[in-house]
Structure 1
Amino acid sequence: MGLAACGIGANESAPLGARRQQAAEQGAAMQGKLRQAWLTTGLLAAALALGTGAAQAQPVVGVTKDTIKVGGFGAMTGPLSNLVAPQLNGVQAVFEEANEAGGVHGRKIVYVKEDDECLPSKGVGAVKKLIHEIQPFMIVGGGCSNAAIAQKPEIVDAKIPWVIVGSTADSLTEPADPYIFTSMSAAWMEVYGMLQHAIDQGKKRVAVVWQPDAWGKARIEPMYAALKKANIEPVLVEEIAVEPTDLTATVLKLQAAKADAVMLILFPKAAVPYLRDAYKFGFQPLSVGGSPLGEIDVIAKGTGTADAVSNLRSLAAAGYAADDPHVAKWKAIIEKRFPGDRFNVLHMFGISAGQFALEALRKAGPEPTREKVIQVLSTMTMQTDTYSGPLRCVPGDHQCHKTLGVFALKDGRVAAVGKTEPKR
């Protein structure tokens, strides 16, 4: 008798098949859920990976795969443009030379300049445009203290690395701000150096003639401090207009005071009439000025005779005269790239600032950030091509240049006649 006949096969085989079918369906469902879970987990992992990569690859302001944008500002027009535009041209020449050599880690430097005319009112607008519209990675600029003092708060708020080219006011870098560095000598350095040079020449009856704008005010207090430190009571301190036409009265006062050295805290527009009138009255003491009086040959033309500047000495951040063989390479580069420019110490300020910034960008590596750049700058030492001493920054002291050249007019040419390292 078969199982079916006994009632066993028919009754038991049907439920077993159903159970097997049910188990198969449950297994398929479980596999589907597992596949869905694996898919979800994989997508989540991929999303997390992409998210992490996106976080790591957040764009850096002013930096693309092929370019790095650097901002600059200064007087490109206006009465002081002849003092500032050459400085910015020096910076630009350094960057253009670097670009021709392949750039920085494969990126070309795009240098964008804004004109501030050396006016605080226009300077704030210029730097705001630079920060918010141009959006550079860093700034290499600033040629006048008057404008730079007004611009500083905007730069500090934006946390953009700033290498100052020519602005010298002490308040720009004292106390040190993490994002601000200067490759230019600070105001106190010039006046301390000016006085030290007079002392080194044996002068004892020191007078001071100064102009009362922001630039001059940034120097007169350090000059008083330098005089006090040297235990010198000035025979006369005379304030004059920024653009005087006649300084006969001032010259006669100095002559009556028997000054044997006059510290000139002046721009050329005031220095020329002083030197002209002093020569006219036969008053020719040692006269010592700062970096704005570096083009002594041009000043001589303004006075009408080279004899009027025979005792003029200028202290400047640059270490060489424009005709010095040491800077012949840069003279050729500037005159090629800017045919209308006459190479001078002002270009040298910009060249050193540009080289300083360029080296910081190189040291920051192929993935630069602003934080990396300020970290590099805060401990960087380098010798530029146009300064006689090194640029050396340390934490807490971002006045990185402290060696000044002393210049005079010799045989119709501006010549370096010494150097000094002023100390407070």
Structure 2
Amino acid sequence: MRSTLTGMAGALFLASALGVGAAGAKDTPGVTPTEIKLGSWTALTGNLAVYGLPGVAGLNAYYSHINDQGGIKGRKIRLITEDSQYNAQQSVTAARKLVGSDGVFAIQGAFGTGQSSAALPYLTQEGVPFVIPFASDIKWFVPPRPLLIGAQVPYDDQCWVLGHWAAKDGFKNILVIHSAVAQFEAAAKATEPGVRSVSADAKIEFMSVKFGTTDYAPIALEVRRKAPDAVVFVGAVGELAAFAKEVKQQAIKTQIFSYAPAVNKEIVVMGGDAVEGLRSVYYTLPLESDAPGVKEYRELLAKYAPKEEPDYVSLLTFALAKVMVEALKQADEPLTRESLVKAFYKIKEFDTGIIGKVSFSPERHLGTRSVQPVVLKGGKWVTVGDFIEAKN
């Protein structure tokens, strides 16, 4: 009886949060017999446009492909993207425009974790789903929020996997170096439970470094003194390259691990042979993979965004678009915000061919916690085994 009442209460809360019901099903914002209007924000200008522009290209490449095949149940997807400039207030402004003026059905593919967090209260107030964003925070999903559903693995989970991997490979003296920024520090702390999932006696230490540090010589000297057999580096990609160069310069023998932001082409340009052998994790298979999903991505990106070079960012957002399309296909008619959220719960072990398999339920709004271990060899990222799921 209690479980039945709990289920009824949950369903009522979901319907209330979404602001829809049987009476409102036929006038759902952003849905017509021929169109589904989605909204997004990202950095289209500024330094972070190096993530924003390819991110949009990945989304649009897959949506254009779907539209050319007739859309979903006769409806074509229209994605409206606003420039957030990677700014929290601009993201809130974008959310208000997309919902209030453009009348979008849902927000999908929005970029920036802190920036999107700033917009979430408004979206919740308006009953607008925030789904499959190009961002992630473990606090968004534990406990699950009725309007928020994602499939990008948070940094905390990535660091758990790095710790697990290091300990599993026999490293016993692990130093975690992280930027002195709250989000980096919080993620870095998850390395320890990852280590402990394998080894109870491994030594693990933490070292905080000022964000934006360019001179890593003194830090490398401290690493020499501590003599770790493995270092987990959680910070900006430029700082990782600078650190790796100092380690090589000072002939320090240690295995370097880092998280998803390290997995890009730029790390090779900045780090040269100093980053050869770097171990990391990423959301997707490598760009050069022969897996069908990655090959499809390269083909469709070339077709719909011919000026855009294949990039790890657009590969990820292409996969995220595939998850969104699967939910739209699964959604019951009439298509409403409520039926969209419930459609995600039908997705079980969905394989994009690019990221880890995706599953959702009322208790699980983060569709995957799996990342792909990769190693930098000969200037290219190559896979190491299968996807690993964080257990923290």
Question: TM > 0.5 between the two?
Answer: yes
The one-letter amino acid of 2:59's match is V
Aligned to 1:259: 228
Q: Which amino acid aligns with 1:123?
A: S
Once the two structures are superposed, residues 290-334 of structure 1 have per-residue CA deviations (whole angstroms, 9 ceiling, x without a partner) of: 111111x4212112x2x211231120111x211112112211211
Q: Which residue of 1 aligns with 2:280?
A: 314
- Residue range with higher mean Cα deviation, 114-123 or 94-103: 114-123
Aligned length: 366
Q: CA deviation at 1:199?
A: 1.1
Partner of 1:363: 330
- 1:136 matched to which residue of 2? 104
Report the Cα distance in structure 1 between the residues aligned to 2:203 and 2:85, rounded to whole angstroms.
34
Paired position in structure 1 for 2:304: 337
Alignment TM-score, normalising by the size of structure 2: 0.86
Which of 1 and 2 has greater Rg?
A: 1
Asked if structure 2 preserves the Cα contact closer than 8 Å seen for 1:72 and 1:141, the reply is yes
* Matched-pair contact (CA < 8 Å) for 1:235–1:257: no
Structure-2 change in CA distance of 1:221 and 1:328 (3 Å): same
CA distance in 2, matches of 1:285, 1:83: 31
Gap regions ≥5 residues in structure 1:
1-53
For 2:340 and 2:377, the matched residues in 1 are separated by 42
The CA deviation at 1:284 is 4.5
1:74 aligns with 2:42: yes
The aligned residue for residue 383 of structure 2 is 416
Checking the alignment, whether the CA contact within 8 Å between 1:211 and 1:265 is kept in structure 2 is: yes
Alpha-carbon distance in 2 for matches of 1:261, 1:358? 41
Q: Please state whether the residue corresponding to 1:391 is helix, strand or coil.
A: coil
Q: Which runs of 5+ in 2 are unaligned?
A: 1-21
Q: Distance in 1 between matches of 2:25 and 2:136?
A: 38
Which has the higher mean CA deviation after the structures are superposed, 89-98 or 75-84?
A: 75-84
Which of residues 166, 186, 190 is equivalent to 1:222?
190
Q: 2:207 aligns with which of 234, 238, 251?
A: 238
Contact map agreement 1:407 1:416 (CA 8 A) in 2: yes
Q: Deviations over 1:353-384 (max 9, x none)?
A: 11111111111145200000101113422111
**Map of 1:30-109 to 2, 5 A cutoff?**
58-109=26-77
Are residue 185 (structure 1) and residue 153 (structure 2) matched?
yes
Q: TM-score by structure 1 length?
A: 0.80
Q: Which residue of 2 aligns with 1:294?
A: 263
Distance change in 2, residues 1:417/1:120 (3 Å):
same
Residues 124 and 151 of structure 1 are in contact (CA less than 8 Å); yes or no, is this contact kept in structure 2?
yes
**Closer, same or farther in 2 for the Cα pair 1:140/1:217, shift >3 Å?**
farther
Note closer, same or farther for the CA distance 1:159–1:56 as it changes in structure 2 (3 Å cut): closer
Percent of aligned pairs sharing the same letter? 22
Q: Separation in 2 of the partners of 1:374 and 1:64?
A: 18
Name the CA distance, whole Å, in 2 between partners of 1:214 and 1:133: 35
Letter in 2 for 1:321: P
Cα RMSD for the two superposed structures: 2.2
Change (3 A) 1:59 1:402: same
Q: Aligned partners of 1:91, 1:160: CA distance in 2, in Å?
A: 20
Residues 120 and 147 in structure 1, CA contact (< 8 A), matched pair in contact too: yes
Deviation at 1:112, TM superposition (A): 0.7
